[in-house]
Amino acid sequence: MEDHHVTSISEDYEKTCWGCGLRLLLATYSPIFKCGWCGAITTEIRTRKPDSVCFSQWRRARDQFFIVVLLLFMSFVIGAGVWAVYPTIFSISYFCGGFHSAITAILAFTTISSFCLSAFKSAGAPVPITWGSYPVVGKNTLENYTFCTYCDMPKPPRAHHCRSCKMCIMDMDHHCPFIGNCVGAGNHRFFIAFLISVVISCLYVVMMTSYTAFHILPPPQLESLPSTYDSVASKVLMQILAGISSSVLSLSVRGLVLLYLAFACLSVDIGIAVLLWQQLYYVYEGKTYINHIGSSKNSVSAEKGCQNILHFFNCPYFSYRLFFIPANAAKLQESSYKIL
């Protein structure tokens, strides 16, 4: 009796790697596969269609509008603040006036310069790399690279494509319409410096305008307080509000500008302080906002700790010892963040 052996014949799926151009044989069908030679990741999943011309123009107009609004607000705060506070401060002494002028000039310079650097400096374009041909693509030279269909070029593992800037950005955190630019590896440090400068400047404006308004604001006209205990708190509150309202209505233009600057800068200061805390928290965790929301699946995050903040601000090695961080942590951190 003859034995019959039945063997299953597996069908190989032939795919082509975009990185080195080699043809690969896959045992099973997969829309995502990695080349064993160059390390490039190929995906056949359909990506989102490119934005229309009208949508791109709208995003560009939105960014330009926000930049103009921000520049006008900073100019108004600097100019109106100096005009409203100058007479009161210099009436105290010339030393106080000169000190206030120096602080104002330093804060204005740091705020505007950090804004220009974060807005007009490149956010971090990927370094061009050879791809597409086996003889010129070496072993593992495209490790974990993907292909950006929008830019039609390789995308590094720590990069993300920005629809507004229409380019891939290294370590992209987010696209900020107020600076009209992405926040990435090239300008992230300047963006945080801008936030720090805005927080300090707005706090200083609130302090100086409140001090000046206290000197020029007419004292509220409060009536005699009631002697009975019943509803004393409500009557006192109503009298104080009425007195403040009458004093505000009798203010000059300079007084109204001072009050507006105080409340506007206080509101801005609270919002920017929250954004600054969020940015520093992400730096502490060794990731960006896009990594946090999970939009970039192939990005690499460092281990969280104070060493991330020290490395982010390019602090010297001896500063690591102040936080009881091992000396080799600086070199390890530098190698993990080396992207350009």
Task: Judge whether 336 and 330 are in contact, CB under 8 Å.
Answer: no
Look at residues 96, 102, 87, 7 and name the one whose alpha carbon lies nearest to residue 258: 87
Look at residues 20, 40, 39, 41 and name the one whose alpha carbon lies nearest to residue 30: 41
Sign of CA dihedral 195, 201, 207, 209: negative
Task: Provide the terminal-to-terminal Cα distance of the chain, rounded to the nearest Å.
Answer: 70
Pairwise CA distance, residues 160 & 294, whole Å:
12
The contacts of residue 52 (CB under 8 Å, 6+ apart) are none
Tell me whether residue 81 is exposed, middle or buried, using C-beta atoms within 10 angstroms of its C-beta: 0 to 12, 13 to 18, 19 or more: buried
- Catalytic one of 168, 176, 202, 265: 176
Pairwise CA distance, residues 183 & 194, whole Å:
12
Annotation says 315 is catalytic: no
Structure tokens belonging to residue 292:
């946090």
Task: Judge whether 135 and 37 are in contact, CB under 8 Å.
Answer: no
The contacts of residue 202 (CB under 8 Å, 6+ apart) are 77, 265, 266, 268, 269, 272
> What are the catalytic residues?
176
